[in-house]
Chains A and B, each alone.
Chain A
Amino acid sequence: MATTATVHAHAAPQGFIRKYIFSLDHKVIGLQYYFLALVAVFVGMALSLLMRIHMIWPTAVLPLLGDIKPETYLQLMTMHGTIMVFFVLTTAPQSGFGNYFLPIQIGAPDMAFPVLNMLSFWTTFVAFVVMLAAFFMVGGAPLHGWTGYAPLSALTNSGPGEQLGADLWITSIAIFCIASLMGALNFITTLLDLRAKGMTMFRMPLTCWAWFITAILGLLAFGVLLSAGILLLLDRNLGTSFYVPLVVVNGQVMAHKGGSPLLWQHLFWFFGHPEVYIAILPGMGVASQVISTFSRKPIFGYKAMVYAIMAIGFLGFMVWGHHMFMSGMSPYSAFAFSIMTMAIGVPSAIKTFNWLGTMWGGRIRLQTPMLYAIGFVSLFVSGGLSGPFLAQPVLDIPLHDTAFVPAHFHLIMGVAAIFGIFAGTAYWFPKMFGRMMNETLGKIHFFITLAGTYAIFMPMHYLGLAGQPRRYSQFTEVAYLHHLIPLNTFITYAAFVTVAAQLIFVINFFWSMFKGPKASDNPWEATTLEWTTATPPPHDNFGGHTPVVYHGPYEYSVPGAAKDYIMQNDPVGVPAH
């Protein structure tokens, strides 16, 4: 049960373990999540490179791994998706940056429940260890995809990796669900109860709104995934038949009957769709924050942005069936899901136009955080435009399970959210570590990554339209796909270059942490409360003084003001004129 231990101004922890391992300080915990995600993203990228190598050189023999069998390809694919979605995209933007900056941006000394916060991180860590352990089990990692469809995932003899590997996968996800629910609870309580004087809901930065709605989505969605996972474990291990109908495996009739694979799909996607909004909303918050700061203009339509985040969150619970258009559902249900899916494009478009409106007429400073934020908008639009295609059941019939679908979701969720993380990193690095990141390395990294990810995922749309299936380990033997091999090869080489370029980011990150030029308290001349603290912030964030807020979060270029920005806690307003 969460204790009500709060952070006392004098009680900064002593000792290495209490300061850096089992810390109750939200800033340390945020960084712990961030570094967990950093490790996870390299594991995920390595898995994707192995997949791309196998796609164009199926018979290649690799050092240490040997040749990649078709089932190995499916195992790589499953773990790539699972690790990236859960341990990178759900972790870094929300638990990483959110934990670090939500309390500071609302003027609080810490999260509402610091002990629960610490437990959330370590539970996530345990989940990650359990997930990685699946690789080392007899049979290896599961091969049922990150979506874990039954009955493949519900039977222990359905393939290699589907014994202990799959059990560990489900257990890891269940542990992750519990960790996420604890984190969501903390975020919502903190935001509702710990805002400083003057920090009304509609004076909060859009990052806080994004973290708030994301936490609500997580609170309502992860319980459903947990239930689905429990049912799957029961089917696998106790012989129940929630998901498994009468099936024959390798000539042997299994002892299940009457279950419904569709039940798994409904439960999974009821979680799965809000999950993709959980992955992207914090990045949208960061984009708003950075674009406003570096355009020296208030965000265009702040209230519309807030309502759009709420609308995206709300509608996100109503569209899960668009992942199931090919499942044999009634066309009337498909129609309803299709309409709701297209509806969700409206608030997304509002946000996009408002970002552009913020930049229009602004005195734009094209520093690295701004480049990443603009890259986020670009990738969100590119990936988003293929969404309405897939949202039509009629168009989804030929496109479902082709390469068109990964093209769509990698652009709009994978890469866009990663650019949100890059933008947040570049923007907040000076505050977290007291030093500036290197601009030149940042720009090089930005351009190569932007070009590289477009080179990887834009041609993939064409591959899907041409009929290349997804989740197939090999195309080289198939005649009608022969003419696509050169394009696949190009994508693989682009992937090599892009992944290699990420080393530039890592080098920049760690070198700047120790050797970068020292940063001032507010190097970007931004308005929100985190830029009022010392750098890095002290244990209780504000050095014993509780901030009082007088302004909204984006008071840039206010006519008549002394400077082109007014900080939120600045009691001096605009002189009368």
Chain B
Amino acid sequence: MAPTIPVKDPELGYGGGGAHPPITDGGGDGGERDNGSPDYGGRLRRTRLGLLIGLASITMVFVALTSAYVVRRGLPSLDEKTSTYVRDWIPVNLPTGLLLVNTFLLLLSSVTAELARRQVARQAALAPVQSIPGVSIGPEGRFPWLGITIVLGLGFLAGQWMAWQSLGDRGFYVATNPSSSFVYLLTAAHAVHLMGGILALLYAGMTSLLKRPIEARRIVVDIAVWYWHFMALLWIYIFVLLEFMR
């Protein structure tokens, strides 16, 4: 084959007609190396990318809710007695103390989740070494960080439930006034997504019981924990919005 000169004929579109050496772009190998063994590094990267994209869609949900919140807060409504437009936004008396405790629980759970993530990453990295007789990871490799995270997460949800009770005691129910509607809406939307996160963490915990390979377990835990961190950040955002834009 005579060497080709890539003639860039403008009619031929990008790339021309000459044979170019294959560019090693794209990650496509179907999650497997050519020898058939699973490519966990590639799968981890792919799943993290998928999570990032999924988090974009969840962000858009809360962008829409925030937009509705800001609009509604500034909207005047007709006061039938005086026939004038007045702002009817009554700031909610939030149980701030309780919410701060919940926030602390969630942030603490983020810390324990991160420790769980690094723990399983270390286990996955050391997996090839485990087959050497006499080598073990040691007791710190078995500390139940994941379990603690789940407990703290459930504690957060219980605390949110108590916060709603407290709001009810102060006379703010879902349909009482627009600001209370948004408080329940935003916190409930977050709680629903957090519940999904707890289910993901439970599944991650289950994978160890199901004896899946450590590298596969590592991916599940990694994704669940990054999702968990996002939920913590989202909560901070919602809390700040409700507190400072009452």
Contacts and interface: CB of A to CB of B under 8 A. Distances in A.
B128 to A, nearest CB: 20
B196 to A, nearest CB: 8
B78 interface: yes
Given A234-B174, A241-B181, A574-B19, A7 B75 contact: no
A205 B156 CA distance: 48
B65 interface: yes
B61 A227 contact: yes
B7 interface: yes
B174 A550 contact: no
Interface in B183-227: 185, 189, 199-200, 203, 216, 219-220, 223-224, 227
Given A257-B88, A263-B68, A194 B27 contact: yes
A540 interface: yes
Contacts of B45: 193
A238 interface: yes
Interface string A284-316: 000000000000001100110000000000000
A543 interface: no
A260 B174 CA distance: 17
B13 A540 contact: no
A500 interface: no
A181 interface: yes
A309 to B, nearest CB: 15
Contact of A559 (B17, B24, B88): B17
A414 interface: no
Interface stretch (B28-36, B135-143, B144-152, B159-167): B28-36
Interface stretch (B50-58, B94-102, B117-125, B238-246): B50-58
A189 B58 contact: no
Interface in A213-260: 219-224, 226-228, 230-231, 234, 238-242, 245-246, 257-260
Contacts of A228: 64
Contacts of A116: 50
Nearest to A542: B30
A558 interface: yes
B68 A234 contact: no
Contact of A193 (B2, B46, B72, B80): B46
A203 B14 CA distance: 8
A186 B57 CA distance: 12
B161 to A, nearest CB: 17
A468 B14 CA distance: 50
A194 B49 CA distance: 12
Given A185-B53, A227-B61, A199 B28 contact: yes
A540 B30 contact: yes
Nearest to A107: B28
B19 A196 contact: no
- Label chain A's interface by main secondary structure: loop
Nearest to A292: B13
Given A193-B45, A227-B65, A555 B12 contact: yes
B64 A108 contact: no
B64 A227 contact: yes
A550 B20 contact: yes
Contact of A181 (B24, B54, B178): B54
Contacts of A259: 72, 178
A445 interface: no
A289 to B, nearest CB: 13
Contacts of B28: 106-108, 193-197, 199, 546
A6 B2 CA distance: 41
A7 B29 CA distance: 10
Contacts of B43: 4, 6
B47 interface: yes
A241 B182 CA distance: 10
Chain A CB within 10 A, most for which of B23, B68, B220: B68
Nearest to B204: A1
Given A223-B60, A224-B61, A298-B12, A242 B7 contact: no
B75 A258 contact: yes
B25 interface: yes
B25 A195 contact: yes
A448 to B, nearest CB: 35
Contacts of A241: 175, 178, 181
B71 interface: yes
B78 to A, nearest CB: 6
B134 interface: no
Contacts of A234: 174, 181, 185
Interface string A543-577: 00010111110110011110000100001111111
B169 interface: no
B18 interface: yes
Given A184-B57, A198-B25, A226-B61, A561 B46 contact: no
Contacts of B131: none
Given A198-B25, A241-B175, A550-B22, 18 more contacts: A2-B47, A2-B50, A106-B28, A113-B47, A113-B50, A185-B50, A185-B57, A192-B49, A234-B181, A240-B181, A242-B68, A242-B72, A550-B19, A552-B13, A558-B9, A573-B19, A575-B2, A576-B5
Q: Can you list the 7 inter-chain pairs with the closest CB atoms, starting with the nearest? A: A573-B19, A195-B26, A6-B31, A223-B60, A239-B175, A258-B77, A227-B64
15 contacts: A1-B199, A193-B49, A194-B28, A198-B25, A202-B14, A202-B15, A219-B56, A227-B64, A227-B65, A231-B185, A238-B174, A259-B178, A550-B22, A552-B12, A576-B2
Interface of B: 1-5, 7, 9, 11-15, 17-20, 22-32, 34, 36, 38, 42-43, 45-47, 49-50, 53-54, 56-61, 63-65, 67-68, 71-72, 75, 77-78, 80, 88, 174-175, 177-178, 181, 185, 189, 199-200, 203, 216, 219-220, 223-224, 227
Interface of A: 1-4, 6-9, 106-110, 112-113, 116, 181, 184-186, 188-189, 192-203, 219-224, 226-228, 230-231, 234, 238-242, 245-246, 257-260, 263, 266-267, 270, 298-299, 302-303, 540, 546, 548-552, 554-555, 558-561, 566, 571-577
